[in-house]
Amino acid sequence: MSNPRRPPDPGASRDRLARALKWVGAVTSILSLLFGLYQLTTLVAAVRERHRRVQELLEIEIVQRHAAEFARAWATLDQAAKLADEGGSLATLVGRLDAVRQEVRLRQEDLGMAWLRDARPGPGRAFSDIVTPVLPVLERGLLGATGERKADLLAHLGWAEFLRFRDDGVVRAPDTHYREAVQLDPKNPYAHANLGHWILWRNGPLDAATQEFAAALGSGRAHEYVRRMQLSALRNRASDAADWEILRVVNEMRKNQEAVDETTRARVFSIYTAMVGDEPAAQKVLTVLPAADQLETFQTLFYDQNFDPAKRPSREVCLARLQEAAGRPDEALRTLLAVRAELLANRSGSLSRAIDASMSRLTRRPIQSSNAREDHVPFGAMVACEHLGEIRVESHHNIDAHTSNALLPVGWSWWPVRAGGG
């Protein structure tokens, strides 16, 4: 007799199913964990790669900025900003990209301010080509900035408004930004320098502008920029007072061993050449600073190998006037005699007349007319010999009478006296 089949145990089936499900769950959990770790590793690697690429772009931007390639540098930072923003969703997980994004934004602000300070859009381009992309970046920077940083941003925003005015002629009030910056940072060099520039641009008091530039220079920051703004503002102001201030500024720069740009050198040279043959004008210029200081500054600026030879006669006449004012009459006479030899082909020119007048003043004797007889020896020549006896003797023995007479003003001649006596 066969045993009857026992019915399946429902509890055992459930146990087997439970065990199977547990294994499936465990495997699924492990796979999910492995997949999650893989995703995390991938994401971290992506963040690191993005961070590396951003840092590489930041290094490129430094090179471009130092080369004054501001438009290219701006495009480079714009690319870096997009890369940094792509990983924004990972910032909470990794905790690094927020710092990278912040670094990029600060660099954009720094570059924008430097670009505005340079303010050279290039041929056929407008200042708005610089201002338009930079302005929103600086305005965004104001939201989280404080103290000196916020003052810097405000000062540059004001300058951006001035550049926009240069483009469209719409009068704005950049000084509002400048004054707000000074309230935040009383020594801010950008605010003071820009305000001084604005005062002169609006034909305001020179003294007020001078005070602003002095405050900017006293800040200890951005010295080169302040000087550039100061000299630019003074050159734009067409007045004697502005010219005299330029002389004072350049003299101070010479004492501080600061470089003077070519545009300012040309302006200084024109100030001095304008006084040639105009004694009232010369007297005004010579009272601006001690003559000895002016002489040293003049020699520092205009006696180098790059000086235009065509301007040499004018330079020498100016030098002689400064030597005379500095109490060096003998040196002034020597300078005038030397330059007179270079003007033989233009004996009747205005420069020659200025030389004659200077020599007459130095010797305190009247100049003989140009049609005086060749055998006539005027008193002026005797006095020149008294002052320059050693030169006279050398000339008397080494050059012929025609050449030696040519060194003196029209109608003058060398006085044939013995060395050491009359």
* 7 Cβ neighbours under 8 A, 6+ residues apart: none
**Considering only CA atoms, which of 226, 285, 281, 227 is closest in space to residue 254?**
227
Say what the pLDDT of residue 262 is.
95
pLDDT > 90 in the chain, percent: 55
Query: Which strand (E) or helix (H) includes residue 125?
Result: none
> Would you state the structure tokens that stand for residue 325, as one six-digit string?
């004012």
b or e along 290-308 (b: 16 or more beta carbons within 10 Å of the residue's beta carbon)?
A: ebebbbbbbebbbeeeeee
Query: Which strand (E) or helix (H) includes residue 348?
Result: none
> Would you state the structure tokens that stand for residue 79, as one six-digit string?
């690319």
CATH of domain 144-218: 1.25.40
Give the number of other Cβ atoms within 10 Å of residue 160's Cβ. Answer: 27
Which one is predicted more confidently, 255 or 8? 255
- Tell me which of 102-111, 164-173, 264-273, 353-362 is least confident: 353-362
pLDDT single digits (tens) 321-367: 999 999 999 999 999 988 887 776 555 577 888 888 888 888 875 54
Residue 3 CA, distance from chain mean position: 112
CA distances, 13 to each of 17, 26, 176 (Å): 6, 20, 86
Q: Rounded CA gap, 72 and 91, in Å?
A: 28
- If you average pLDDT over residues 364-377, what whole number do you get? 44
Say what the pLDDT of residue 224 is.
96
Query: Residue 419: is its pLDDT beyond 60?
Result: no
pLDDT single digits (tens) 233-279: 999 998 999 999 999 999 999 999 999 999 999 999 999 999 988 88
Q: pLDDT band at 48, cuts 50/70/90?
A: confident
